[in-house]
Amino acid sequence: MCKWRLICTSDLSSYQYKLPKKTWKDAQAYCREHYTDLPMIENIVENNEVYSAASAEVWIGLYRVPWTWSDNTQSSFQIWGIKEPNNYGGNQFCVCEDVQHKWEDFNCVREKPFICQQGVCSITQ
């Protein structure tokens, strides 16, 4: 039996800003259906690309278990705002990028605009 892997990588200008607002889970489902996923930001350049594509706070693909990208890889790059993450109320498990380029944890059921990451995908054996 063969095992196949889907590998997706982003390139410059590969982010699409989306309205209407959605919960983190609904935004993730939308991005997976129409693009690749919510953004998985690996460095400051990608963080700036996401910021440039958005005009407001937006969901990104990071959630707490511990901080993990929506493709289940661990997050090594992080750029938190002051006093973040704070898990206010004990239920802030999803992350948005704010208007200052910084990340904040929020309740996943809050509705926010979001960014979808387009990617180059290939199947490998």
Question: How far, in Å, CA of 103 to CA of 71, rounded?
Answer: 18
User: Looking at the predicted structure, is the pLDDT value of residue 11 above 80?
Assistant: no
32-41, 47-56, 108-117: least confidently modelled range? 47-56
Question: Tens digits of per-residue pLDDT, 59-92?
Answer: 999 999 799 999 899 989 999 999 999 999 999 9
The pLDDT value given to residue 120: 56
The pLDDT value given to residue 53: 84
The pLDDT value given to residue 63: 96
Long-range contacts of 62-70, Cβ-Cβ distance < 8 Å, separation of 24 or more: 62/94, 62/95, 62/103, 63/24, 63/93, 63/94, 63/95, 63/108, 64/92, 64/93, 64/94, 64/105, 65/93, 67/95, 69/40, 70/28, 70/37, 70/38, 70/40
Give backbone dihedrals phi and psi of 65, rounded to 5 degrees, phi first.
-175, 50
User: Looking at the predicted structure, is the pLDDT value of residue 124 above 60?
Assistant: no
Q: What is the CA radius of gyration of the chain?
A: 14
The pLDDT value given to residue 55: 75
Residue 45: CB partners within 8 Å, gap ≥ 6?
A: none
